[in-house]
Amino acid sequence: MFEILTSADAWVALLTLTFLEIVLGIDNIVFISIAANKLPPKDQRKATNFGLLLAMVQRIILLFAVTFLIGLKIPFYYINTSWISIGISGQALILFFGGIFLLYKSTSEIHEKVEMPEHDEEVLKSKNITSLTKAIVQIVIIDFIFSIDSILTAVGMTNGIGEKPMDALVLMVIAVVISIIIMMVFANSIRIFINNHPSMQILALSFLILIGFMLIVEAAHLSHARIFNQEIGAIPKGYLYFAIAFSLLVEFLNMKMRKKIETGDVPDEDT
């Protein structure tokens, strides 16, 4: 089952996916903290940890469900016209609508974070959470909402890696488990880092636009779609990894430069 971990591509996918899961999970941590903070101090830590554990189980179950649906590769409907030819399967539909969802979710999230950064937090703060059970239920609901884009991101990052469907599932489950454990242990530190560098979260959401577009192209490719007699090819995962790595490198250089400017370490051009 774990032979996939001997592949360099698998390790690149795993590290990249784990990073994205953590950064994209920051909102989840914030909302979980808001829900937990409504409880007495003795129950807050318990609600957060138990809620995240349930969230991890919930995500793994959803990953199995999505992996099963993606396994439906046999076309059940064909479209053949003078300009388009395509065989529609369950796999293609999941990838296509998943890509559309990621495009919508990422652009709307970017807009909301730029224009209305406190909107969702104010909505959650208005909810009446008076018991540990209510807090945990609220945390699980919150995580389910955030799980959708997280799982689709995992599918986009790992689809096609490995020789067997279980290979991609193993990578996705490992990434989810590692990211949840890191969030449980370093939730406060991660939240402070992202609050100090909000561009990191915008960057991660921008990656979702790339992944969403890739899922749509992947759906067309796996359906053997031909448009005006031109077959749609697959986008190599290496392009995606390079784009993410290059963007992160530029962002880290920007962060380092901003820190030097703030501390006055940038030399004067006239000297």
DSSP class per residue in 182-219: HHHHHHHHHHHHHHH-THHHHHHHHHHHHHHHHHHHHH
pLDDT attached to residue 180 = 81
Confidence at residue 166, expressed as pLDDT on a 0 to 100 scale: 73
What distances in angstroms separate CA 233 from CA 5, 75, 215, 219, 247, one per listed residue?
A: 27, 18, 12, 10, 25
Contact 154, 17 (CB under 8 A): yes
Residue owning tokens 């009446």: 128
- Please tell me the distance from the alpha carbon of residue 69 to that of residue 216, in angstroms, as a whole number: 16
Helix H or strand E segment including 222: helix 199-222
Per-residue pLDDT of the chain (271 residues; tens, 9 = 90+): 566 667 777 788 788 888 877 776 766 676 676 667 667 777 777 777 777 787 788 888 888 887 777 777 788 888 888 888 888 888 788 888 888 888 888 888 787 777 765 555 555 555 555 667 777 777 777 677 667 777 777 777 776 666 666 777 788 888 888 888 887 777 667 666 766 777 777 887 788 888 888 888 888 888 888 888 888 877 777 777 788 888 888 888 888 888 778 776 655 555 4
Question: Which helix (H) or strand (E) covers residue 80, if one does?
Answer: strand 77-80
Half-sphere exposure of residue 171, counting CA atoms within 13 Å on the CB side?
31
What residues contact residue 105 under an 8 Å CB cut-off, 6+ apart?
148, 149, 208
Amino acid at 21: E
Amino acid symbol at 212: G
Tokens of 204: 């991660």
